[in-house]
Amino acid sequence: MTDDLHRGTYMADLLLHALGSNLDKPCVYLGDQVLTAREVRDEMSRYTQALTGLGLSRGSTMSVLAPNRPEVLFNMGANNFVGCRTTPLHPLGSEDDHAYVIDDAGIETLVYDPVFEERAVALRERCPGLRRLLCFGPTNEGEDYIALASKYEPAPLVAPAVDGDEVSGLAYTGGTTGKPKGVMGTYRSGATMTQIQMSEWEWPNEVRFLICTPLSHAGAAFFIPTLLQGGSIVVTPTFDPKLIFETIEKYKITATMLVPTMLYVLLDDPRIGDHDLSSLETVYYGAAAMSPTRLKEALERFGPIFFQFYGQAEAPMTLTVLRKGEHDVNDPARLASCGRPVPWVHLALLDDEGNEVPQGEPGEICVRGPLVMKGYWNKPEQTEDAFKFGWLHTGDVAKADEEGFLTIVDRKKDMIVSGGFNIFPREVEDVLATHDAVAQAAVVGVPDERWGEAVKAVVVLRPGAEATADELIAMVKDRKGSHHAPKSIDFTDSIPLSPLGKPDKKALRARYWEGSERLVN
């Protein structure tokens, strides 16, 4: 018996198998480049050798700051084969955000695109632990990573001998209050996520997957599952409706992933009818709550091709799923659901004392299983709080119906306490979204001398549509009662979004709590 006898299969193993199964088949389309699995494998080998040549090894810390380009994938593979602990930086993040993450995560190597050279230099000056800059191309400040990799001939790739509970990367949560926390993802949790994707998600027979989100973040989570099924990915540099429509038509895209705000933009774009989008068989959506009204509109426009996944950085991507056939356009309650738990997690709705709530009552979604994070990086108190009663507490409050479908009513910390009533913004937002004139709605609590917190709605109207605050308030009052009805409504052109495309409630609340020492009243 050897130490490797019962070693698990992790992301590097899966990547090796996926690339080796269809070596001469195109697997990546990005701009004018078309790469076969063999070419991707060979480039990953070169980049792996470049990193080891620089002295990086298992546990070395690296961050990546780049838009979508092939080299992001090559480096991602190299990180897997070297065994680096990676922490991506979102291209839309601020310098302060990036500096905080680099310092907190102890990042020693930063890989960046030339367009971020100025940012990279600034980060090196601000972050004393950042010792090496690697640039995807010629640079005046760091080393040319592409040139370094090109010096090597492709060599056989070998998956590193890692432990399942070893930290493979840190993902920083945006959070609703305070500084972001580094979620310690393990090799086991990453492999479990892929296992669930492969077994529980509904994939087209022929996968041509459009990635229009950052490869350094959510986009890469679809790369290995697609390759394991002999499919290909088509990557766009950015999310642009015209480009998305053209790409779907040109490559006959069969699957993609959209956050709700992206889907809303596509639905509202007048060019949606100018292109043949009939090749789409599966649209995965998640990362934020979807308006049941807009989801019904999407189903009526595209047909029953929508598949929802629910998870979070602490238990990545897929705690529950709502399958395509479970989307009932005639049942608003079902369209508001995030589905049922997948078999690889244990899930319960718990009260504040750690007891399961009765069916139909709201409780916090708590989970156990190999998908769950190891904890928060260098934050033992927050980790202990997150694992209270021996469960991971997601912070999401949900109700379960008699068939086991969960409906998230809101984030626990986003709950508004107004006049003694507990109000979950999601419930108000879903009512507002049923109005024909409303494109998007976000609800927050704002300071109020009488109520403590008053319900405030921020609404984006559809192009050319009209609605008054009084009629929207009356509609919520009629559907949910006076305590849920917004005390005021602000109309705006857009709702602030986080770098990952979620409504940024923290930024929205800050507009109304400026000058206050605390964000509750």
Residue 178: its pLDDT value, please?
Answer: 59
- In three-state secondary structure terms, 414 is helix
Tell me the per-residue pLDDT of 288-341, one tens digit each, with 9 for 90 and over: 778 888 999 999 999 999 999 999 999 999 999 999 999 999 999 999 999 999
Contacts of 27 (CB under 8 A, 6+ apart): 19, 35, 36, 37, 40, 226, 227, 231, 232, 233
Residue whose token pair is 């005390």: 487
Give the H or E element holding residue 508: helix 505-513
Residue 518: its pLDDT value, please?
Answer: 40
Residues 287, 376, 307: CA angle, nearest 5 degrees: 20
Q: How far apart are CA 462 and CA 114, in angstroms?
A: 38
Residue 452: its pLDDT value, please?
Answer: 74
- pLDDT reading at 35 higher than 50: yes
Residue 484: its pLDDT value, please?
Answer: 87
Amino acid at site 101:
V
Tell me the per-residue pLDDT of 64-82, one tens digit each, with 9 for 90 and over: 999 999 999 999 999 999 9
Exposed e or buried b per residue across 445-482, where buried means at least 16 C-beta atoms within 10 angstroms of its C-beta: bbbbeebebbbbbbbbbbeeeebeeeebbebbeeeeee
Q: How far apart are CA 377 and CA 383, in angstroms?
A: 8
Q: How far apart are CA 441 and CA 454, in angstroms?
A: 16
Q: How far apart are CA 97 and CA 64, in angstroms?
A: 14
Q: Sort residue 464 into left (φ over 0), alpha (ψ -120 to 50) or beta.
A: left
Residue 176: its pLDDT value, please?
Answer: 45
Is residue 474 within 8 A of residue 481, CB to CB? The reply is no
Residue 257: its pLDDT value, please?
Answer: 95
Q: Which of 48, 79, 91 is nearest to 168 (CA)?
A: 79
- In three-state secondary structure terms, 510 is helix
Residue 180: its pLDDT value, please?
Answer: 83
Kindly report the number of other CB atoms within 10 A of residue 190's CB atom: 22
Q: 252-266, 467-481, 496-510: lowest mean pLDDT where?
A: 496-510
Provide the residue count of the chain. 521
| φ, ψ (nearest 5 deg) of residue 227 | -65, -35
Question: Cα dist. 377→95, 101, 372, 397 in Å?
Answer: 21, 11, 14, 25
Domains of the chain: 11-323 (3.40.50.12780), 345-411 (2.30.38.10), 415-513 (3.30.300.30)
Residue scoring higher pLDDT (90 or 230) = 230
Indicate the pTM of the whole model: 0.84
pLDDT average, residue stretch 217-234: 90
**Complete DSSP assignment for 103-150:** HHHT--EEEE-GGGHHHHHHHHHH-TT--EEEESS--SSSEEHHHHHH
Residue scoring higher pLDDT (182 or 420) = 182
pLDDT average, residue stretch 422-451: 86
- Taking each helix axis from N to C terminus, what angle separates 11-21 and 187-200, rounded to the nearest 10 degrees? 50
Residue 227: its pLDDT value, please?
Answer: 95
Contacts of 261 (CB under 8 A, 6+ apart): 288, 440, 497, 501, 502, 503
Is residue 123 within 8 A of residue 94, CB to CB? The reply is no
Q: How far apart are CA 117 and CA 104, in angstroms?
A: 21
Average pLDDT, the chain: 91
